[in-house]
Structures are given as C-alpha cells and as structure tokens.
Amino acid sequence: MATAQKAASSGMTAEERKVIFASSLGTVFEWYDFYLYGSLAAIIAKQFFAGTDPNTGFIFALLAFAAGFIVRPFGALVFGRLGDMIGRKYTFLVTILIMGGATFGVGLLPNFTTWGIAAPIILVTLRVLQGLALGGEYGGAATYVAEHAPNGKRGAYTAWIQTTATIGLFLSLMVILGTRTAIGEEEFNNWGWRVPFLVSVFLLAISVWIRLSMNESPAFAKMKAEGKTSKAPLTESFGQWKNLKIVILALVGLTAGQAVVWYTGQFYALFFLQQTLKVDGATANMLIAASLVIGTPFFIVFGSLSDKIGRKPIIMAGCLIAAVTYFPIFNALTHYANPALENALKNSPVVVTADPANCQFQFNPTGTKKFTSSCDIAKGVLTSSSVNYSNVEAPAGSVATIKIGNETYTSFDAKLTPDGRNFDADSKAKEAEFKKTIAAAIKAAGYPAKADPAQINKPMVLVLLVILVLYVTMVYGPIAAMLVEMFPTRIRYTSMSLPYHIGNGWFGGLLPTTAFALVAFKGDIYYGLWYPIIIALATFVIGVLFVRETKDNDIYSQD
C-alpha cells in the first residue's frame, strides 16, 4: 500500500516501471494476436468462406472477426470473477495461454477447399476463444497498474496500457507487411498469411515468462490478507443497484462512444481504404502503421492531461469532435486516396430504379441463398464493384434498371435450378453477360478498378489518418483510469471489465460488419459512418449529463 499511496509528486519507482512494462508488454502481444485476423479479413474471407459470393464472404469474415468481440463480455465475467476472487496475476497467465494457443491454431487450420464447412466452423471457434481470453485481459491489466499507481498519476500510468492496443495493431501490420514484402503478394495470399499467426508462438513464450515474474497487486494482496475479498463478485457487481447503475452509466456514457471512435479510427479506416477506395493492401497498411507511430504518444499525453483537468472533459470532447468531422474526413480520404473514384462519383452518378418490394437486404452468411430479382442482381453487381449508387422507386412489377451517366441498362429476373441452389443455365449466361456489360460501362464512366498508386496523395492521407488516431487517443487514453476509479477494489476487476467489453466488444467490434452492411443496403459508400456518429453522440449526451468526474477519487477508500 505504501507504494500505491505515495505522493503524486515523487518519481516512478523501479517496481512501478516493471509493473507497467510487464503488464503493457504482455497485453501488446495479446492485441497483436487479436488484430491479425482483422487486418487479414479480406484474405481470410477467400480462404475460409469460399462457398459464398465475394461481398457476403467479406461480410461473413468480418462477422467471424466480430465473434471474438461478441464473447468478450462473457470472458470479462468469467475471468473478472476469478481476478476478484483469486488474484490478478494468475488470471493473466490463463488468458494469455488461451489467446496464444487459439492464434497459433488459426495459422495451422486448413482452408475451406481442404476441409469444407468444418474450416469456417473451427475458425469461428478459435475466434471465440480469443475473445474470451481478451475479455479477461484488459480489466486485469488496467486494475493491476492502477492499483500500483500513486494518487494523482493514475491517468499517466494506466495510459501505457492504452497504448498496447495500438502498438499490438502496429506490430501485426509490420509482421504482415514484412512477410508480404519477403515472399510477394501472390504467395502471401496463398499461404504466407499464415506466417504472422504462427510466429505468435514466440511472442506467447516471452509473455508467459514475463508474467511469471510479476507479483500480486498490493491492494489485492492486502485485501486478501485481511479476508475482505468478495465471495460473490458477480452478485455484488450486478445484483446491487448502487453498483449496477454505475456499470450501466460506464457503458452508455463512456465505453460505447469510446469504442466506436476507436474502431473507426483504427479498423474502419483500414477497411475503407482497402475495400472501398481500392488502395492496395501494402500501401494501406503502411499508411495506417505510420499514423499509429505518430499518434500513439498522445495516449500518454491525454492520460497525463486527465490527471490535471479530469477524465470526462477529454473523453466527451473526443466523442463530439469525431462525430462532427467523420463525414468530411472520409470524403477527404476519397479525394486524396482515389481521386479517379471521386471524379466518377461526381461526373457519372449511378442510379438504380427498381420496385422496392423486389429489393432485399443482401446479407447471405450461409452462402446458400440466391437473390433472383432484377433489383437484387443489379445492386449485387454494383456493390461488388464498390460503386456508389442512389435509389429511385419504380412502379410495382417493374424490371430494375441501372443508369450510369447518360446510359441505362436493364437488369433481369433469374430462375433457379430445381434444387434452388443455383441459377439455371439460361440465368447464368444472362448474369455473366450483364456483369460484363456493367463492368464495361463502369470503366467507361471513369470508375477505377483500383486506386492508382501514382495518384495517391500519401502525405495528405497520412494527415487524415493521424487525425483519426488522435480522436482515438482522446477517448481511450483516460478511460482505464476512469473505469478503475468508478468501482471498489473487491469487485473492481469484474465491475469495470463488463461495461468495457460490452462497449468495445459489441458496439466497437460490430462496427466494421454493421457499417459495410449499411453501405451495401443503401448504396452510399459513406452511409456506414452513421453508426459510429450516432453512438458517439449518444455517449456524449449521456456522459455530459449523468457521468461524474473521477480523477480525485481515492480508490483505496471505496472499500
């Protein structure tokens, strides 16, 4: 307790530096494992979801990525309970072993061509194990560091934990880029993508060795020695309204908005560059990595600043500024990353005219459903080419048309084979011809198949990506300290972990999937941004009105 309660003006001790380094380094490795999948989602879609059409395959790959996030709150409950009952240190060891083993397994897993439907099922299972492990990781790391930190410096100390997610993402991008460069893009797409997953076994060995050298948190050790540990942390955390209401506020008034800002700045930006703007993977990864290098120190800046002016003002400002500026920033990304696409959108607008009753939401996770209406076929062809389009309602029973510039093309209604699994021969031939016609029309209208590397204004794209990362540092830098300060020691691990992982696991983890599904539904390449904007604004309003500042709370007097 003496270490934790010393005056804020004294310097950091060797023991505190070791605590921060050990907690942060182990967490970096776990985030590296977790982020590999997200960074390689497009390749994994082709490897494990080959039985679906390209658009559905990519969305389903993102859903498998999101599966790891969806189960994180359950990991928070399981490992948070263990952390509050038996200690922070040994819970760390269990979570990192599960995470490392699951990641190594992805690298060894045969693809859809080899194992069929079993391959994606096992892949999702491994993602679930990763999510459970990560659900128990963050709360333990943040609690462990905060309980070693002196009063008045918890924002600065826990901000180091906040850098680990970004550093883990950066490390994963560097390993991916290094492998791509060494063996070439074609070989990387075929088998080289497995290398970053397999090398994680070395990171796992280092992490386990580091965590074995850690001591238990002094606050928890003292509480355990006095026999004051919670016997039922789940009941105390969520079964008593005085604590449950704080958990709810922590979710809707802090972590939900923080999560969508974080995943928009680090994940959606990458997906947008690659999938929508058609920037090649190596260039997109390099630009994201560079933005992370520039922006990461600001986690410490805003964490330290929160010790002086408060956690709440910084987090709320980050949510508000992000929500207000997302549309102009992503429009600017299009301008600087793919000006040919921007010109095509302005000069050759695409319009789909169709009977709304014949247009479905084209999300097909099993790959077994076939969309046969003329509207669905028309929109499917455009979406697969990342073409922005608007919708015009046609009279009932009309055959859908696509207008590209001044030319109009008529779609068709397809027929299925008797088993209902595929288009019949005539419909297949019509589909092939229609795709060829639309592809030629799109090309003639100026829509690029890929972003021209010579036309990418890399400095300006980097500036925009750095701005997005700065928003991330504003909302994420102070969040760990604030969550720790909201709950008492005996149930802190459990109480803070659940809202954090519901916010980041569900609101944040589902962002790429939800955003891209919205784009496919509406036909507007920017429409997916409404998801993070609405949630960030909701968090801003609730946080400003109902969440209390915590920076002056004494976390040792709450018990």
φ, ψ (nearest 5 deg) of residue 473 = -65, -30
Do 2-338+453-546 and 343-444 come out as alike in CATH topology? no
Domain 2-338+453-546 fold: Growth Hormone; Chain: A; (1.20.1250)
Tell me the three state secondary structure of residue 119.
helix
Q: What is the DSSP letter of 489?
A: G
CB-count exposure of residue 436 (10 Å: 0-12, 13-18, 19+)? exposed
Domain layout of the chain by residue ranges: 2-338+453-546, 343-444
Average pLDDT of the residues of the chain: 84
Question: Is residue 163 a contact partner of residue 24, using CB atoms and an 8 Å limit?
Answer: yes
Where does the pLDDT of residue 322 fall: very low under 50, low under 70, confident under 90, or very high at 90 and above? very high
More confident residue, 345 or 370: 345
The CATH architecture assigned to 343-444 reads: 3-Layer(aba) Sandwich (3.40)
* Crossing angle of the two packed helices 374-384 and 511-522, in degrees rounded to 10: 130
Is 174's pLDDT higher than 80?
A: yes
- 447-465 pLDDT tens trace: 888 899 999 999 999 999 9
The dihedral sign for the CA sequence 207, 209, 212, 213: negative
Residue 400 per-residue DSSP state: P
Distance separating the N- and C-terminal Cα atoms of the chain: 14
* More confident of the two residues 398 and 169: 398
d(CA 269, CA 464): 10
pLDDT of residue 56: 64
Residues 6+ apart with CB under 8 A from 354: 374, 375, 378, 379, 391, 392, 393, 394, 398, 400, 401, 411
Asked if residue 78 lies in contact with residue 133, where contact means CB atoms within 8 angstroms, the answer is no
Sequence-separated (6 or more) residues with CB below 8 Å from residue 235: none
**Residue 512 reports pLDDT greater than 80:** no
* Paired sense of beta strands 389-393 and 350-354, if any: parallel
For the chain, the C-alpha Rg in angstroms (whole number) is 25
Model pTM score: 0.81
Q: Which residue has better confidence, 559 or 501?
A: 501
Distance CA 429, CA 433 (A): 6
pLDDT digits (tens, 9 = 90+) for 519-556: 877 888 899 999 999 999 999 999 999 999 999 887 76
Q: How far is CA 442 from CA 226, 261, 272, 403, 517, in A?
A: 73, 34, 20, 10, 22
CA angle 66, 68, 70 (to 5 degrees): 70
Reported as a pLDDT band with limits 50, 70 and 90, residue 2 is: very low
Worst-scoring range by mean pLDDT, 195-204, 300-309, 343-352, 489-498?
489-498
The tens digit of pLDDT for each residue in 254-312 reads 999 999 999 999 889 988 998 889 999 889 988 988 998 899 999 999 999 999 999 99
- Residue bearing the bigger pLDDT, 494 or 225: 494
